[in-house]
Amino acid sequence: MADEFGHLPRRPDRILKAAKWSMQGLEAAWLHESSFRLEVYLFVVLAPLAVWLGQTPVEQVLLIGSMLVVLSVELLNSAVEAVIERYGAEFHELAGRAKDMGSAAVFVVMMNVLLTWGLILLPRLF
């Protein structure tokens, strides 16, 4: 949420407010978005595996970072869907297109996870 002061330089209290709003967003996603919960579960399982399988810090960052991007894009997709639902559940071509594009964005970053994990880990198997 924006506060009443606009775009002033950040002070510790304003940073704490921003952190609070971010936590509220994460909580809302957890409570209302089953896709987000599933992706968090996968992250909890795969992140330690990435630390174990990554042979260098760069590989570990790539493996974990690719999954964090999925969570970020899922949050953005959920935000788009929430705004669209706010204006009603009736069909509108642009609303449908926006939802489809948000879903496609999540799909693209999931393909990035598969590509990243595959290019790092598959050569070790063959």
- 59 is an annotated ligand-binding site residue: no
* 22 marked as binding residue: no
> Would you say 81 is a known binding-site residue?
yes
Contact 67, 46 (CB under 8 A): yes
Rounded Cα–Cα distance for residues 68 and 97 (Å): 25
DSSP 3: -
User: From CA 9, how far away is CA 79, in angstroms rounded?
Assistant: 26
Q: Is residue 74 annotated as a catalytic residue, yes or no?
A: yes
Q: Name the catalytic one among 27, 59, 74, 93.
A: 74
Q: Any known ligand binding at 86?
A: no
Tell whether 32 is in a known binding site: no
Which residues carry a binding-site annotation for ATP?
Answer: 14, 33, 81, 90-92, 99-100
Binding residues for a divalent metal cation, as ranges, are 33, 81
- Residues belonging to the active site: 74
